Structure 1
Amino acid sequence: MKAGRIKQWAVGAAAMALPVLANAQAADPKPWQLNMGRGVTHLSQNAYEAHMLALWICVVIGVLVFGAMAVAMFKFRKSKGAVADQSLTHSTKLEILWTVVPVVLLLAMVFPATSKLIQMYDTRESAMTVKVTGFQWMWKYDYLGEGVSFTSRLDRKSDELRQSGKVIAEGDHDNYLLDVDNVLVLPTDTKIRFVLTADDVIHAWWVPALGWKQDAIPGIVNEAWAEIREPGLYRGQCAELCGKDHGFMPIVVKAVPKAEYQQWLAAEKAKNAPAAPVAAPAAAPAEAAPAETAPAEGETPNTDATAAAATQHAAVAG
């Protein structure tokens, strides 16, 4: 019993220390992670800051409210002889106070939140554009203007495990249902514009480390952007119920330095380039007709041919 009580207190202390420990969290979610991660983009940092501002305001309000309740319950309890005041009257000052304070708090949060929301949709001055198309149940990526495109779906090992019927253990696959056959390779420190749509039903492209989620809707093109600060692998999933295999539509983004990205892009272009046509062999030169030669010394000329030529010349002249 005592050990269980100590464990409860430890869990409570960890929950209270959560905002302080948030700085140590990585971009991708971890088991038993409770607080929001910072992510690896400017937009994810904005979202984290807005979240922490709201969280600390809620913490202060909670301390004040529950502190006042604790004081009232323990200091003014019946066992100490406290008698309830039955003549409590309306207080205009108190009502003004508890109306103005929430309004001030909301205004303190609305201005930074609005500016961050505007930044989220500002795709101007992007260095490159990636088109994301959702299918049941895979993603297609087109690097616009580069001639590179490919599909990305659940990796074969995860697909075999999910259909095997066995209970999946932690050692069976390090990233079960979160790996793909072709990752989306992007450069770091580059503003990347995303245009998102779908071919069949509504999907939603979501990588938590990038700090946003955007719907992919048939017949509509939505926009978003990201500028990844740190190289690494960042995983996500379709966040819209798009059909029976909705849970098997992962996303993997691989962020690499600019030089490495250019090498990868060149290799993809070479792989997708059409084969060069085979040149036809050159035709052999035609044999020249043998020229007529004068008779050698002592050789009798061909009088028949000479006579025929003379006759033809006379006929033309006549």
Structure 2
Amino acid sequence: MDRLAALNLFALGGGLSFGARASEETPSSSQYNLTQGVTEISGQVYELHMLIFYICCAIAFIVFGIMFYSIIKHRKSKGAVAAHFHESTKVEIIWTVIPVLILIGMAIPATTTLLAMEDTSQSDITIKVTGSQWKWHYDYLDEGVQFFSLLATDQKQIDGLEEKGAHYLLEVDNALVVPIAKKIRFLLTSDDVIHSWWVPDFAVKKDTIPGFINEAWTKIDKPGVYRGQCAELCGKAHGFMPIVVQAMEQDDYDQWLADKKAEIALAEQEAAAALTSELGMDELMTQGESVYVARCAVCHQANGEGVTGAFPAIKGSAIALGDIDPHIDIIVNGRSGTAMQAFANQLTEQEIAAVITYQRNAWGNDTGDVIQASDINQFKENAQSASDMEAAQ
């Protein structure tokens, strides 16, 4: 592959990273070109792609034109005799200078666009994006608002028991909400493996790497719902990790932010109240099943039987049938070196209590154990005290 083809392939690869548009305006299956997106940067990338495409078309037209002209004009049947020349300095200068000029002409706009894509300075909003198997966590660093965003497609659609919806595998329970006409800076990292936060309409595609923070930014031109996906193969449920961004007018965004803060405050009050209340087995099983389906079934399966060689079964397992403390510990703190995450900061004490109760009494486990939110809180306090004592020693 020559230098010109290599540069073209690089540019096309960068452009194609946002070629499959996933906004509410679904393109027809016959749309093969890139979309211009809804940001200034996505427009620049589109224009860069078209510029290089036209340059390549012109080169192809000239090269193939000369080639076919030479084949027809100077064919042997017309008595053409090949010329003999050796080490022509003029020819070597021409076929070196022309490609260099073409490459410079392509590199200047490409470099300008790349520098603009990487300039996260003077942002209005900063949002930390954390990828984990298999969900996104959004933290509005200046507002004290954070939440998880999980796939919301019904399991029956995934299992083929119901007709697939318009946004199959591209819908979430909590969308990332942002205002338009504001520069939004993203800080991207990961809790476990490498993911990639990709929203085609923004021309943003950035890896989230454990222990490392990448930066990206966007400034959306018009309100709407824009969809993307994790674009890095990150494990079993890689295809079940969508991104949904809802862009709003500033006034609507301010109202959403106020409502979200009130919602979080109410949830914290309810979590505190749950520490002094006790739920019956039926209530815990109902809530626990809901949490299990949303957070656990993707690995351990809806029937609790897991995936042989990958994810252990809960049905009939030593964890679910044994002492309660190890069961609480693995849910709260996870298990290092495995896909089992720590849910201490993802679920409330009530939700953890409910899902443990469900796991210990579903699928024939039938231990009869009832776990309350206060039990989870007590476990956390004991673990913190032990940690403090160890640190003091």
Q: Is the aligned partner of 1:261 residue 2:253?
A: yes
Moved more, 28-37 or 202-211: 28-37
Distance 2:169 2:30 in 1: 18
* Partner of residue 182, structure 2: 190
Paired amino acid for 1:104: L
Normalising by structure 2, we get a TM-score of 0.59
Structure 1 pair 27–66 and aligned structure 2 pair: CA distance change class (3 A) = farther
- The aligned counterpart of 1:151 is 148
Q: Choose which of 54, 60, 63 in structure 1 pairs with 2:61.
A: 63
Does structure 1 residue 49 correspond to structure 2 residue 78? no
Alpha-carbon distance between aligned partners in 2 of 1:56 and 1:271, rounded to the nearest angstrom: 52
Asked if residue 73 in structure 1 is aligned to residue 71 in structure 2, the reply is yes
- Report the secondary structure of 1:126's partner residue: coil
Unpaired stretches in structure 1, ≥5 consecutive residues: 1-24, 279-318
Alignment partner of 1:99 is 2:96? yes
CA displacement 1:202-225 (0-9 Å, x = unmatched): 111000111121111111111111
Map of 2:114 onto structure 1 = 117
Q: What amino acid maps onto 2:58 in structure 1?
A: V
Aligned to 1:225: 217
| Counterpart pick for 2:159 among 158, 163, 183 | 163
Shift of residue 148, structure 1, vs aligned partner: 1.4
Look up the SS of the partner of 2:139 in the other structure: strand
8 Å Cα contact 2:225-2:246 kept in structure 1: yes
Q: Check conservation: 2:153, 2:169, Cα contact below 8 A.
A: no
Give the C-alpha shift of residue 194 in structure 1.
Answer: 0.5
Bigger helix share: 2
Higher relative contact order (CA 8 A, sep 6+): 1
Compare CA radii of gyration and give the structure with the larger one: 1
Corresponding residue of 1:131: 128
CA RMSD of aligned residues (A): 2.3
Residues in 2 aligned to 1:83 and 1:118: alpha-carbon distance in whole angstroms: 52
Amino acid at match of 1:206: W
1:46-66 CA-partner distances (Å, limit 9, x unpaired): 211221121111011011011
Q: CA deviation at 1:86?
A: 5.2
- Please tell me whether the aligned partners of residues 27 and 37 of structure 1 are also in contact (alpha carbons under 8 angstroms): no
**Distance of 1:117 and 1:254 partners within structure 2:** 26
Deviation at 1:27, TM superposition (A): 7.6
Kept after mapping to 2: 8 A contact 1:141/1:149: yes
Q: Secondary structure at the match of 2:172?
A: coil
CA distance in 1, matches of 2:79, 2:179: 69
Superposed displacement of residue 128, structure 1? 0.8
Q: CA deviation at 1:145?
A: 2.0
Count of residues paired in the alignment:
248
Provide the rounded CA distance (Å) in 2 between the counterparts of 1:150 and 1:252. 13
5+ residue gaps, structure 2, are 1-19, 274-393
Q: Distance in 1 between matches of 2:216 and 2:101?
A: 32
Counterpart contact for 2:120–2:215, Cα < 8 Å: yes
C-alpha distance in 2 between matches for 1:91 and 1:49: 38
> Which is further off, 55-64 or 118-127?
118-127
Question: For 1:26-45, what aligned pairs fall within 5 Å after superposition?
Answer: 28=23, 30=27, 31-45=29-43
Residue 142 of structure 2 aligns to a residue whose secondary structure is: coil
Q: Give the drift of 1:88.
A: 4.1
User: For 2:247, what is the secondary structure of its paired residue?
Assistant: strand
Return the alpha-carbon distance in structure 1 between the equivalents of residues 225 and 213 of structure 2.
26
TM-superposed CA distance for 1:184, in Å, is 0.9
Q: Is the 8 A contact 1:27 1:40 kept in 2?
A: no
Q: Distance in 2 between matches of 1:238 and 1:139?
A: 9
SS of match in other structure, 1:150: strand
TM-score by length of 1: 0.72
